[in-house]
Amino acid sequence: MPAINGNRFVVVGGASLLGSNIGRRLLDAGAGEVILMDNLALGSASAVEDLVTDERCTFLRGDMLRMNELHDPFEGASGVFNVAGFLGGPMLANPWMGLDVNVRGIQNVLEVARVRGVGKVVFSSSIGVYGRIGDDPCTENAPFDWNGLGPALALYSGSKIVGEGLCQLYHRQHGLAYAALRYSNLYGENQHKRAIDATRIVNAWERIRAGQSPVIEGDGTNVTDFVYIGDVARANLMAMEADASGAYNIASGRDTSFNELVAALLKACGSELTPEYRADDAKVANPVVTRLGISVEKAKAELGWSPQVDIEEGMRRLVAWLDAERAKGRA
């Protein structure tokens, strides 16, 4: 599989939360050339402004839905990271475009990767492929249960299943190596406000810095799995170099309630405020669960990856970045 050191890589969706962090990791790992490609519909040029000061790194404005724009950057690339995609909130706002990006987009990436002889594609998938997660440990063999999912989340989850199916198809028919990484909830530096749970983190930080109590929806016992963006970027590089193809859960493996999350955020902010509890039935919401149990054993065994940053340290790093962005007038 492609080694990072000295080789050329393309990050599609390179100006995003994850794309920019992958780009930084690639440069730190000695990549010979890094092309960050993004149409800036959801990404931000400010996320990569420090990266492009490195002569090995280039930002290219381009759209994965226009296949012709992929050929030149993919020429000579050892690997491609496909990060671009619509999340649940944007999918609700524009389902037509969301399905185009999440399905036709990865299809275009795979086809051009095949034509240009790319060694491997790492596809950003999601634990959304499981739908509602039950009481059993959630391994990569868990089925998709979409009963009770709202339409936006059902469409988003279904689009990721189709994306993974296309990766399998190109692997079996054309020998294109791939890894589909099923992320839980990403957070960290270059945080955006498009993911449902990540938006709540940023909103809570904004209220705390304004001297207002952070808001917790419901009673705060609902759990999710928050995984630090640096750990996820590291997983992408390890998946690229691993001599393995398939799907992998990339998560913290720890159920974190919103009460615990807000407590960690308040501590990181040095605040003694107490949360305010309320409900907003009009918002897009993930299913309410009190247990997830996402297993990362397959990623440990086949990729050699495991999470390193816990929620307390991750919140400290996120708050430091948000505070710095506010000081620059960006947050």
Catalytic residue list = 156
The residues, any chain, with a CB within 8 Å of residue 50's CB and separated by 6 or more, are none
Residues in Cβ contact with 137 at an 8 Å cutoff, skipping those fewer than 6 apart: 293, 294, 295
Strands, E assignment, 127-278: 177-183, 185-187, 215-217, 223-224, 226-228, 246-250, 256-257, 276-278
Residues pairing with 217 in the sheet = 278
Amino acid at 164: E
d(C-alpha 265, C-alpha 313), whole Å: 10
* Nearest CA among 19, 78, 83 for reference residue 52: 19
Residue 159 tokens read as: 């689009």
